[in-house]
C-alpha cells in the first residue's frame, strides 16, 4: 500500500465532497434544487452530459472490450450523433414549452396523470437497477486500492456522494461533473502515454502487432436476416440503429439526462450543450478503447496472464505498474467518474419522486416543505442504490450489464413519448396499452432469444408505438366539447 497514492485519493475525496456541498447556499425552491436555477452555461451542461453518459462503466469496461475484441464499439457512437439530432428536433421544443422539472410532465400534459406515473415508475425502477450496477463497478477499483471488501468499498463511495448531492442539488451535480470529467479525461491521457512508454518500440510496435490481429477494426458491414446477425452487438447496423434508439431514449426520455437539458437557460443553449457533448463522447470512447489495445499488446509482450475478470485489467495495471502519485491520481480520476454519475442519478431519482408522485397529491405544498422532501428522497434513493450495488456483484461485464438493463424498458419509454409527440389521436388508454405491449415483447426477446442488447430499444420502440397507434382505433371518440376546446386527452 503506497501512502502517497492514498494521500492523493483521500485528498480528492475530501476536496470534491467539500466543493459540492458549498452549493447549498441560495437554494430556496425546487427550481433551484432540481434545475440549478437555470443558471449553468451550455458548455458546463455539455460536459455534465458526457460525465453522466460515460461513468465508471466506460473507464473500467471500455478498455476491457478492446482488450478482448477490437474498436467495434465505436459503431454505436455513430448512432449517438443521429439520436442527438432527433432529440433536438422532436423533443427539446416540447420540453421548453412552459417550465418542466421532469420529462414525465410532458406525458401528463399529452395523455394524463396515469401515463405520467407509469413512465415515471419505469424510470425509477430501471435507473435504480442500472445505477446499482455502476456503483458496483467502482467497488472493483476501491477494493484493488485499499484491499477492502466490495461491500465496504460500495458504502464509502455512496455515502460521500450522497452527502454533497444532498447539500448542493443540481448545481453541485453540474459543477462537480465538470471538475470530475476534466480529471478523468486527463487521467486517461496520462495513462495512455504511461502504458505506451512501457511498450518497447512504442506506437510503431503497437500498430504492427495490434494491426495484424485486427484490433483496430471498427466497421462490420456484414448483413443477413438471420438470428446470428441479430445476436452480434457490434455491427454497423446494430451500432447505428441501436445507438440511435438507445440514446434517443436515454437522452430524450430518461430524467437523468433530460434534467440536464432542462437546466439550460433556454432551448438554444440546451441544443448546443447536447450536440457539443457528442464530440467529447466520441473522443472519450476512442481514447479508452485505444487504452485497451495498448494493454492487450503489453500483456502479450510480457506474457502476462489477463485477470479472470477482464473489467479489472485497466485499474489493476494502473495500481501495479504506474509510479506512486500518478497511480493515485488516475485512481482518483476513476472515482471521479463514479461519483459524478451517482450524484446525477440521485438527483434525477429524487426529482421524479417528488415532482411526479408526491407533489401531484399535495399540490399546495410550500416550497420549503418541497425542498425538505427533495433532500429526504435523495437520502432514501442513496440507500436503495447501496442495496442494489451490493446485489450486483456477479455481473460478467459491468459495461454490458448496465447497457442491457437500461435498454430493456427504454424502447417502451421512447415509443410512448414518440406516440405523444408525433400523433394526436391516441389517448391515455392506447398509450398504456402500447407500453404494456412494448415491455412484454422485449422481455420475451431478452429471455427467449439470442438477440443482442443493441436491438432492444429499437424493437421496444416500434412495438410500443405501433401497439399504441393500433389501440387508438378502438378508443371511443373524444367528447365533442373537449375536441373543440383542444384539451389534451388526460385533462378531459
Asked whether residue 443 is domain-assigned, the answer is no
Total domains in the fold of the chain? 1
What's the pTM? 0.80
Residue 316: is its pLDDT beyond 90? no
In this prediction, residue 248 has a pLDDT band, given cuts at 50, 70 and 90, of very high
E strand intervals along 98-162: none
pLDDT category, 490, cuts 50, 70, 90?
A: very low
Q: What is the CA radius of gyration of the chain?
A: 23
Q: Does the structure show a pLDDT above 50 at 148?
A: yes
Q: Give tens-digit pLDDT for 204-235.
A: 999 999 999 999 988 877 777 666 666 766 67
454 inside domain: no
Residue 59 CA to residue 172 CA, distance in Å, equals 22
Residue 492 pLDDT more than 50?
no
Residue 2 has pLDDT above 90, yes or no: no
Q: Does residue 53 lie within any of the structural domains?
A: yes
Q: What is the pLDDT of residue 396?
A: 52
User: What pLDDT is stored for residue 361 in this prediction?
Assistant: 72
Closest-CA residue to 456 (of 312, 192, 249, 157) = 249
**Which of these, 329, 317, 60, lies nearest to 190 by C-alpha position?**
329
* pLDDT value at residue 486: 43
Contacting residues for 145 by C-beta, under 8 A, at least 6 apart: 5, 6, 9, 319, 331
Residues spanned by the domain of 54: 3-394
416 domain-assigned: no
C-alpha 327: how far from its chain's center? 26
Q: How many angstroms separate the CA atoms of 212 and 72, rounded?
A: 16
Contact status, residue 51 vs residue 341, Cβ threshold 8 Å: yes
Contact 328, 6 (CB under 8 A): yes
Tell me what percent of the residues of the chain surpass a pLDDT of 70.
88
- Residue 402's pLDDT band (boundaries 50, 70, 90)? low
Query: In this structure, what CATH number is given to the domain that contains residue 182?
Result: 1.20.1730.10
Report d(CA 242, CA 458) in Å as an integer.
Answer: 6
Question: Could you tell me the three cell numbers for 476?
Answer: 371511443
**H or E element: which one contains 211?**
helix 202-212
Place of cell 455502476: 134
DSSP secondary structure code for residue 232 in this structure: -
**Tens-digit pLDDT profile for residues 362-371:** 767 777 888 8
Q: How far, rounded to the nearest angstrom, does the alpha carbon of residue 376 sit from its chain's CA centroid? A: 23
Cell numbers at 315, concatenated:
485499474
pLDDT tens per residue, range 476-487: 776 543 443 344
* Cα maximum dimension of the chain: 79
Helix (H, G, I), strand (E, B) or coil at 449: coil
| 248 in any annotated domain | yes
* Cα 106 from Cα 91, distance rounded (Å): 10
Q: Give the residue from 311, 290, 344, 25 showing the smallest Cα distance to 176.
A: 344
Residue 17 has pLDDT above 90, yes or no: no
The residue behind cell 463497478 is: 137
Averaged confidence pLDDT in the chain:
83
DSSP tag of 222: -
Looking at the predicted structure, is the pLDDT value of residue 143 above 80? Answer: no
Alpha carbon dihedral 365, 368, 369, 375, in 10-degree steps, equals: 130
CA separation for the pair 463, 474 (Å, rounded): 17
Q: What is the DSSP string of 67-89?
A: HHS-STTHHHHHHHHHHHHHHHH
CB-based contacts of 340: which residues, under 8 Å, 6+ apart?
48, 51, 52, 55, 173, 176, 177, 180, 181
Residue 463 lies in a domain: no
pLDDT (average), residues 74-89: 91
Task: Judge whether residue 91 has pLDDT over 70.
Answer: yes
| CA-wise closest residue to 91 among 279, 255, 215, 319 | 255
The sign of the CA dihedral 175, 181, 182, 184 is positive
Rounded mean pLDDT, 59-86 = 87
**Is there a domain that residue 485 lies in?**
no
Question: Is the model's pLDDT at 161 over the cut of 50?
Answer: yes
- Nearest to residue 429, comparing CAs of 465, 468, 460? 468
| Helix axes 236-252 and 398-422, enclosed angle (nearest 10) | 70
DSSP code per residue over 338-356 = HHHHHHHHHHHHHHHHIII
Assess if residue 482 is contained within a domain: no
Say whether pLDDT at 389 is over 70.
yes
Q: What confidence category does residue 393 fall into, taking pLDDT thresholds of 50, 70 and 90?
A: low
Higher pLDDT, 109 or 157: 109
Residue of 173, 106, 98, 153 lying closest to 350 (CA atoms): 173
For the stretch 335-359, pLDDT in tens is: 777 777 788 888 889 989 988 888 7
Mean pLDDT within 269-290 = 94
Go through the chain and tell me how many residues it has.
492
| pLDDT (tens digit per residue) in 180-191 | 888 888 888 988
Give the C-alpha separation, 425 to 251, whole Å: 26
- The share of the chain scoring above pLDDT 90, in percent, equals 30
Task: Using alpha carbons, list the distances in angstroms from residue 260 to 130, 256, 379, 434.
Answer: 19, 7, 20, 28
Nearest to 206 by CA among 131, 121, 301: 301
Amino acid at each position: 500500500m503506497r501512502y502517497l497514492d492514498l494521500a492523493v485519493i483521500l485528498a480528492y475525496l475530501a476536496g470534491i465532497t467539500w466543493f459540492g456541498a458549498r452549493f447549498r447556499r441560495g437554494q430556496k425552491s425546487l427550481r433551484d434544487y432540481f434545475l440549478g436555477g437555470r443558471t449553468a452555461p451550455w458548455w458546463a451542461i455539455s460536459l455534465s452530459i458526457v460525465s453522466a453518459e460515460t461513468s465508471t462503466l466506460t473507464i473500467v469496461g471500455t478498455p476491457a472490450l478492446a482488450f478482448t475484441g477490437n474498436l467495434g464499439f465505436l459503431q454505436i457512437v455513430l448512432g449517438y450523433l443521429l439520436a442527438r439530432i432527433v432529440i433536438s428536433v422532436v423533443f427539446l421544443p416540447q420540453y421548453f414549452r412552459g417550465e418542466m422539472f421532469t420529462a414525465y410532465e410532458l406525458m401528463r400534459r399529452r395523455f394524463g396523470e396515469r401515463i405520467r406515473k407509469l413512465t415515471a415508475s419505469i424510470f425509477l425502477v430501471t435507473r435504480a437497477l442500472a445505477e446499482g450496477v455502476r456503483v458496483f463497478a467502482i467497488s472493483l477499483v476501491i477494493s484493488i486500492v485499499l484491499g477492502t471488501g466490495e461491500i465496504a468499498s460500495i458504502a464509502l463511495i455512496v455515502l460521500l456522494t450522497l452527502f454533497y448531492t444532498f447539500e448542493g442539488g443540481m448545481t453541485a451535480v453540474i459543477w462537480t461533473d465538470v471538475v470530475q470529467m476534466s480529471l478523468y479525461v486527463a487521467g486517461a491521457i496520462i495513462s495512455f502515454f504511461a502504458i505506451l512508454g512501457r511498450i518497447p518500440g512504442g506506437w510503431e510496435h503497437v500498430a504492427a502487432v495490434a494491426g495484424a490481429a485486427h484490433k483496430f477494426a471498427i466497421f462490420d458491414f456484414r448483413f443477413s436476416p438471420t438470428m446470428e446477425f441479430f445476436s452480434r452487438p457490434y455491427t454497423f447496423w446494430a451500432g447505428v440503429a441501436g445507438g440511435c434508439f438507445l440514446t434517443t431514449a436515454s437522452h430524450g426520455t430518461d430524467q437523468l439526462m433530460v434534467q440536464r437539458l432542462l437546466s439550460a437557460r433556454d432551448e438554444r443553449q440546451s441544443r448546443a450543450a447536447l450536440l457539443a457533448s457528442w464530440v467529447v463522447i466520441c473522443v472519450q470512447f476512442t481514447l479508452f478503447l485505444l487504452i485497451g489495445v495498448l494493454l492487450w499488446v503489453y500483456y502479450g509482450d510480457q506474457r502476462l496472464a489477463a485477470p479472470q475478470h477482464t473489467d479489472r485489467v485497466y485499474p489493476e495495471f494502473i495500481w501495479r505498474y504506474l509510479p506512486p502519485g500518478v497511480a493515485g491520481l488516475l485512481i482518483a480520476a476513476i472515482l471521479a467518474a463514479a461519483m459524478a454519475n451517482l450524484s446525477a442519478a440521485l438527483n434525477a431519482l429524487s426529482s421524479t419522486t417528488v415532482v411526479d408522485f408526491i407533489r401531484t397529491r399535495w399540490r399546495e405544498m410550500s416550497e420549503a416543505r418541497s425542498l425538505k422532501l427533495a433532500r429526504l428522497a435523495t437520502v432514501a434513493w442513496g440507500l436503495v442504490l447501496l442495496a442494489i450495488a451490493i446485489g450486483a456483484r456477479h455481473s460478467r461485464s459491468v459495461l454490458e450489464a448496465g447497457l442491457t438493463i437500461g435498454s430493456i424498458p427504454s424502447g417502451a419509454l421512447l415509443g410512448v413519448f414518440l406516440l405523444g409527440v408525433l400523433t394526436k389521436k391516441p389517448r391515455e388508454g392506447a398509450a398504456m396499452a402500447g407500453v404494456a405491449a412494448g415491455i412484454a415483447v422485449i422481455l420475451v426477446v431478452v429471455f427467449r432469444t439470442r438477440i443482442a442488447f443493441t436491438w432492444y430499444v429499437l424493437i421496444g420502440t416500434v412495438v410500443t408505438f405501433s401497439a399504441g397507434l393500433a389501440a387508438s382505433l378502438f378508443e371511443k371518440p373524444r367528447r365533442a366539447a373537449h375536441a373543440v376546446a383542444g384539451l389534451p386527452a388526460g385533462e378531459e
